[in-house]
Amino acid sequence: MNIYDFVVKTNQGKEKSLADYKGKVLLIVNTASQCGFTPQFKDLQGLYDKYREEGLEILGFPCNQFAGQEPGSDAEVQQFCRFNYGVTFPIFAKGDVRGDNAQPLFQYLTREKGFQGFDKDHPLSEILTNALKEKFPEYLKGDSIKWNFTKFLVDRNGHVVERFEPTGSMERVEKEIVECLEKK
């Protein structure tokens, strides 16, 4: 099994096979428009602009599971991303990324690459950890997605090669993307 075995919903409600991305390097991200990490949309768009011609695709999957930080409709989410951050990479239909109702894609991704901890040097790591302990302690258990803007890097052959937590350095994300792009 690999990433190409999955079908997801576009923000217009149509089915899209991830097999359409064969041969591309993918960065799959769960997103939210009202989160402390929302400014990462700017960095993600910058990566997309810089590496799209070399074969990078970024796929955004909005989720409202984390403190209700993505309350809008699919159309509102799309409009927010384009208007506020100039996002041109695909933003798919809103859905769950953890728990019993998680999209099969995200069940697969978290099985392939488990939680390795938050980046201790990021200024929001301690705040996020404390908030999870206080309000969502069950989120800290296991390999499930802990918060918005968790990223999964997929190589050109459809294999999950890395997971980046929302507190991870975007420089490290870029370095890993470049390494995947260099492997043909």
Segment 40-60, tens digit of pLDDT? 999 999 999 999 999 999 999
Distances (CA, A) of 72 to 48, 64, 78: 24, 9, 9
Convert the pLDDT of each residue in 171-182 to its tens digit.
Answer: 999 999 999 999
Question: Environment class of residue 14 by beta-carbon count within 10 Å: exposed (0-12), middle (13-18) or buried (19+)?
Answer: exposed
CA pair distance 86, 82, nearest whole angstrom: 4
Q: What is the pLDDT at residue 143? A: 93
Q: What is the pLDDT at residue 16? A: 97
Q: What is the pLDDT at residue 51? A: 98
- Is the dihedral angle over the CA atoms 38, 43, 46, 47 positive or is it negative? negative
Q: What residues form DSSP beta bridges with 151?
A: 29, 164
Q: How many residues does the chain have?
A: 184
Distances (CA, A) of 104 to 4, 9, 10, 111, 183: 12, 12, 15, 11, 28
Q: What is the pLDDT at residue 184? A: 72
Q: What is the pLDDT at residue 64? A: 96
CA pair distance 138, 19, nearest whole angstrom: 34
Q: What is the pLDDT at residue 120? A: 84
Which tokens is 131 given?
A: 């908030």
Nearest to 97 by CA among 51, 29, 169, 6: 29
Which tokens is 16 given?
A: 């899209």
pLDDT along the chain (184 residues), means of 10: 94 95 97 93 97 98 95 92 94 96 96 92 88 92 95 97 94 96 88
What are the residue numbers of the active site?
A: 35
